[in-house]
């Protein structure tokens, strides 16, 4: 019985390995030296300007970084900017006692 199970397992592994193809994955040849990937710098929240007349009015300064979109258009998408602003606002509202990093 064990030999039958072992044989079925062996056959299933062999068939699975021969049927699976990775056409979309460009894998290097064994022993080939790989080059470096292109540099990537994501959009970054650089600064914040407060309006003295309205302290709850913020003006965010966002660096576009070096992504394909930002290099072509010299601007950050609204979704990326909104995500950076949400992350900042969330970090400001976390109480000190709940932070993981101590000083």
Residue 95 to residue 79: CA distance in whole angstroms: 26
Contacts (Cβ under 8 Å, ≥6 apart) of 76: 43, 62, 64, 65, 69, 70
Q: What is the pLDDT of residues 44-99, one digit of tens each?
A: 888 989 888 988 888 888 888 776 555 556 677 888 888 988 998 888 888 888 87
Q: Which among 94, 3, 2, 91 is positioned nearest to 45, based on CA atoms?
A: 91
Global confidence as pTM: 0.50
């Amino acid at each position: 019985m064990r030999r039958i199970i072992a044989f079925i397992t062996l056959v299933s592994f062999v068939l699975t390995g021969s049927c699976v193809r990775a056409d979309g994955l460009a894998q290097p040849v064994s022993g080939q030296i790989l080059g470096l990937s292109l540099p990537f710098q994501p959009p970054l929240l650089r600064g914040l300007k407060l309006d003295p007349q309205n302290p709850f009015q913020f003006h965010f300064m966002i660096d576009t970084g070096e992504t394909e979109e930002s290099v072509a258009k010299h601007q950050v998408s609204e979704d990326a900017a909104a995500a950076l602003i949400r992350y900042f606002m969330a970090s400001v509202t976390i109480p000190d006692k709940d932070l993981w990093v101590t000083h």
